[in-house]
């Protein structure tokens, strides 16, 4: 656990090190984490709408050895983890928006 958080912290730190002090001060780690979540949700919109239409054991098997296909499109377990990541990101954004019924 914590891999995504460490990744966001890494990118945030390196970005802020290259920004001028004023810009770096306005882009918080919390904002970077939200931007990451929105990016995951945007990727999910595309992936779920286009690539998972034919998701089946046979489709995953057919793409399994194709290095030009992303892991989430050729490995069922990677796809399940992707869906869990999307769920976490969506819950975060929904909490920020005050959507009723979203657990902490």
pLDDT in tens, 30-70: 999 999 999 999 999 988 887 777 788 888 889 899 888 88
Do 12 and 37 form a contact (C-beta atoms < 8 A)?
A: no
Dist CA 96 CA 1 (whole Å): 22
Dist CA 93 CA 86 (whole Å): 11
> Could you tell me the pTM of the whole model?
0.80
* Burial tier of 12 (Cβ tally within 10 Å: 0-12, 13-18, 19+): buried
H-state helical runs in 1-104: 3-18, 21-26, 29-46, 57-63, 71-74, 76-97
Please give the pLDDT value at position 103: 63
Write out pLDDT tens, residues 58-103: 888 898 998 888 888 888 899 999 999 999 999 999 998 888 766 6
Instruction: Say which residues have a Cβ less than 8 Å from residue 86's Cβ, sequence separation at least 6.
Output: 40, 41, 44, 48
Asked if residue 1 has pLDDT above 70, the reply is no
Please give the pLDDT value at position 104: 60
Determine the average pLDDT of the residues in 21-36: 95
């Amino acid at each position: 656990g914590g891999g995504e958080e460490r990744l966001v912290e890494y990118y945030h730190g390196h970005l802020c090190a290259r920004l001028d002090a004023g810009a770096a001060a306005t882009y918080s780690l919390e904002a970077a984490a939200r931007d990451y979540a929105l990016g995951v949700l945007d990727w999910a919109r595309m992936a779920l709408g286009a690539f998972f239409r034919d998701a089946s054991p046979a489709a995953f098997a057919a793409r399994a050895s194709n290095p030009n296909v992303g892991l989430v499109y050729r490995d069922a377990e990677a796809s399940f983890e992707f869906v869990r990541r999307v769920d976490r990101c969506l819950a975060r954004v929904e909490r920020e928006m005050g959507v009723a019924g979203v657990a902490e």
